[in-house]
Chain A
């Protein structure tokens, strides 16, 4: 049964000269945003703060800890800490599980049903369970992130291993290589590109689940910052939080993309 792999990488069309159009459309967008909020004031700043106020708050948030008790970087640090905790555990468990499930059909028969049932359950639904199991500290939030990472990694590893061409397996077996040897020297190298994509997709999943994790009990973190400003009539801080999440998410994805290119150098053969 073929897994639906979440295509995360966006195949860029050749570097077209349309960058200018993108910039223009962005500028127009921001201008319209400004016009309807601070310009004409048609939308009250309580519903939608203007770009100037948002960027003011964005830069002031770097050194001001009002109103939620920590600066933007402290929040980011706390969120990243939880994300990486969950990510590392998720990768450590997800990759081996994905490999074993793909390589040993019998194990797959048993592991797959439970995995498929747990897979659609979002991180946020696990929050109460995690409170009970791991309390309200760093670990329980890390576990919520772990779940989303674990699912993404296992799927991609599983699909990667399954892509190993049977002809390669036969070649290795004809040389008398054992099943394990073939796994390590044929299947895993073939799965490497898919694995790398998995790492990037999983980091994306981890970063998006952090907000859910921080709805749990938290004293810091971007999710907490957003959650706090909801009751305080500070939509500008909410938007600052969203921008921070968006930028960090893209930067993380970009970094992993670089790693992927270096690791796979010439191997990114177009099938």
Chain B
């Protein structure tokens, strides 16, 4: 491997393959050589189960169906949360009175993890989809609001001065300066919220569901089927990674004007 290998565009994918293969190897050795074997399936069984589940139904759907269910729950709740978060965050930035009124509730809700809301969510919204949307909404809402707020109050005063000198009114300044200037912050918030929403889908699907990746893991726990659980975990990891990469790609495309420094 000459020096240039590390710089060549092949370095990343190859090393990724090696490192994942290495991880699976360690897992394989760990399972086969130790007493762990009876309880913990090895990578080969799990991956074959994972691949198999693309054709064979687990419960009512294949793993694709489950993934679609989980994704649709996340997509709906996430987009509502992002929308509400941006509005709330910017409003908090724009109107100090609103911020003062809204902040106490925001500070109370934020530290409480979505899982802790499950019992009350069930009492309020029943066992259906609404409870799941509510939990995922909670996971996404605080981050987006926080970032929109930070974006709105940390606009470079010189830009506002320049706009004011050009005759812009307060409202115009908010619309044409504060909002665009906070778009990078908002986008960073949306990226973080997407990963926290995706992580919450498992907890959300613990609330009485019969489909979804989270259900796959939860029902695996109930019937002690470790392969199904691990296949679910692999799916969550892969999709989570895919979502994060997609958001980064979106950012490069959309925020072309923003030189996102380190």
Contacts and interface: CB of A to CB of B under 8 A. Distances in A.
B104 interface: yes
A238 interface: yes
Nearest to A229: B119
Interface in A112-133: 112-114, 116-122, 124-129, 132-133
Interface string A40-76: 0000001110000000000000000000000000000
Contacts of B244: 116, 119-120
A260 to B, nearest CB: 17
B103 A22 contact: yes
Nearest to A249: B111
Contact of A25 (B100, B122, B192, B260): B100
Given A121-B233, A126-B233, A132-B36, A25 B111 contact: no
A242 B116 contact: yes
SS of A interface (majority): helix
Contacts of B217: 125, 128
Interface string B1-18: 000001000011001101
Interface residues of A, number: 66
A120 B116 contact: no
Contacts of A249: 111-112
A133 B36 CA distance: 7
B150 interface: yes
Given A122-B202, A235-B119, A208 B113 contact: yes
A2 B251 CA distance: 12
Interface stretch (B54-62, B158-166, B175-183, B224-232): B224-232
A120 B15 contact: no
Interface of B: 6, 11-12, 15-16, 18-20, 22-23, 36, 39-40, 96-97, 99-105, 107-109, 111-113, 115-117, 119-120, 122-124, 143, 146-147, 149-150, 153-154, 185, 188-189, 191-192, 195, 198-200, 202-203, 206, 214, 217, 220-221, 226, 229-230, 232-233, 236-241, 243-244, 248, 260, 262
B19 A122 contact: no
A245 to B, nearest CB: 5
A69 B12 CA distance: 54
